[in-house]
Amino acid sequence: MKQIYLLGDSIRMGYCEPVRELLAGYAEVHFPQENCRFSLNTLCFLHTWAEQMQDVLPEGIDLVHWNSGLWDVCHFEGDPLPLVPPDVYEVTLRRIVQRIRTVFPNAKILFALTTCIDASMTKFQRGVPMRTQAEIDEYNRIACRVMEEEGIGIDRLDEASRLIPSSDRADWVHFTETGYKMLARHVARVIRGAMDI
């Protein structure tokens, strides 16, 4: 039985249980119980989350499916700069790659590109939008470049998210249960392809 580890923010938290169900009988799916938030947070706590796994050691993980991005592009309380500026994001992604390779030494890595927003929906924050699609696209381009240079596969989760209608979104960033199940089917299919299961 393959051992899969999912890393990511609230989007990952929305699809992790359905992915586990979809891969039952093919793989065991593990993930942190908390929101991994932004890239620097993932870098800081990755080893802690790995130590909290039950029933499998980090060395036993076959694949890490990972995303950082939606928090990184956030503009909190009208801050003109994103939480993690593009140059810092790039450096941090490279550091996370090395951290994953250290913590999960036998794992293949897949990076899921950040899901798109739906700007037509009501936004829930004060002031200027916390995120823009243009910035998400920029950060996804950075991630693609880093992963290509690091020899890591890309999951086009961004493209899958574009296919989800507004009726299956909880707000302009998040999804309903139905929307998360759509993402889960995509993620499970990508993982099965990567693991040949």
Give residue limits of the domains in the chain.
Answer: 2-195
Fold of 2-195: Rossmann fold (3.40.50)
Per-residue model confidence as pLDDT tens digits over 10-45: 999 999 999 999 999 999 999 999 999 999 999 999
pLDDT 10s digits, 153-183: 999 999 999 999 999 999 899 999 999 999 9
Q: CA-CA distances (angstroms) from residue 136 to 141, 159, 177?
A: 9, 12, 23
* Global pTM value: 0.96
End-to-end CA distance of the chain: 9
